[in-house]
Chains A and B, each alone.
Chain A
Amino acid sequence: KNEVEQSPQNLTAQEGEFITINCSYSVGISALHWLQQHPGGGIVSLFMLSSGKKKHGRLIATINIQEKHSSLHITASHPRDSAVYICAARKGYGGATNKLIFGTGTLLAVQP
């Protein structure tokens, strides 16, 4: 079983829909990242959070440390949001490494 699990693996939505992607982890973490990767492209960091909620434009990320669960929400989805969304948990607590444990990703397709 992966230490970081995402659901769903694939998601198809109509433009304008509210989207939720979930991430659960089974290890103690110091922070959790949400990353975006377009097909064939590099990775863009969307959020890093260790508690509560963050918002950037149409994107909202929440985390519940006690339940070891995080969600990424996209409001008013648009076809340009189509990408793979990756949840990555950081296990280290300081020191020289920030090793990330990656989830398997959620492939989102937003249809016009």
Chain B
Amino acid sequence: DAMVIQNPRYQVTQFGKPVTLSCSQTLNHNVMYWYQQKSSQAPKLLFHYYDKDFNNEADTPDNFQSRRPNTSFCFLDIRSPGLGDAAMYLCATSLDSLSYEQYFGPGTRLTVT
């Protein structure tokens, strides 16, 4: 089945140690999004790619970066994770600007020790 896949589902990293979260999609969608969701809060959009064009939200910390080497894959890099970065990270995709539905992956739960 076509889907949005996130690996790993659970990630533990140490304070200050760089970590990369992965998202892949078999939907051939143009747009890929990364959200951060902290406990009991709504998801917060960090950034998105429209094809190769990167769009950062104004309040996304510089500590968060993203890469999209091809249509299928998108990575979230946290350069120096702090304890406050512990959260669920959700990847989503949408076909393009004419199709509004977003398809979400299962998420990666990040723990920072």
A interface list, Cβ under 8 A from B: 30-31, 33, 35, 40-45, 48, 86, 90, 92, 94-100, 102-105
State A30–B94 Cα separation when bound (angstroms). Answer: 15
B45 at the interface (CB under 8 A from A): yes
| 19 interchain pairs, CB-CB under 8 A | A41-B106, A41-B107, A42-B6, A42-B88, A42-B106, A43-B43, A44-B104, A45-B101, A48-B100, A94-B97, A96-B31, A96-B55, A97-B31, A97-B48, A97-B50, A97-B55, A100-B45, A102-B43, A104-B42
State A26–B97 Cα separation when bound (angstroms). Answer: 23
Q: Which residues of A contact B2 (CB under 8 A)?
A: none
- Asked if A98 meets B94 with Cβ closer than 8 Å, knowing A45-B102, A90-B100, the reply is yes
State which size class the interface on B falls in.
20 to 34
State A104–B38 Cα separation when bound (angstroms). Answer: 12
Q: Which residues of A contact B55 (CB under 8 A)?
A: 96-97
B interface list, Cβ under 8 A from A: 6, 31, 42-43, 45, 48, 50, 53, 55, 88, 90, 92, 94, 97-98, 100-107, 109
Q: Which residues of B contact A103 (CB under 8 A)?
A: 42
| B103:A96 contact, CB within 8 angstroms | no
Q: Which residues of B contact A86 (CB under 8 A)?
A: 42
State A94–B27 Cα separation when bound (angstroms). Answer: 20
Given contact pairs A42-B106, A95-B97, enumerate 11 new A-B contacts (beta carbons under 8 Å).
A30-B100, A33-B102, A35-B104, A42-B88, A42-B105, A96-B50, A96-B53, A97-B31, A97-B48, A100-B43, A102-B43
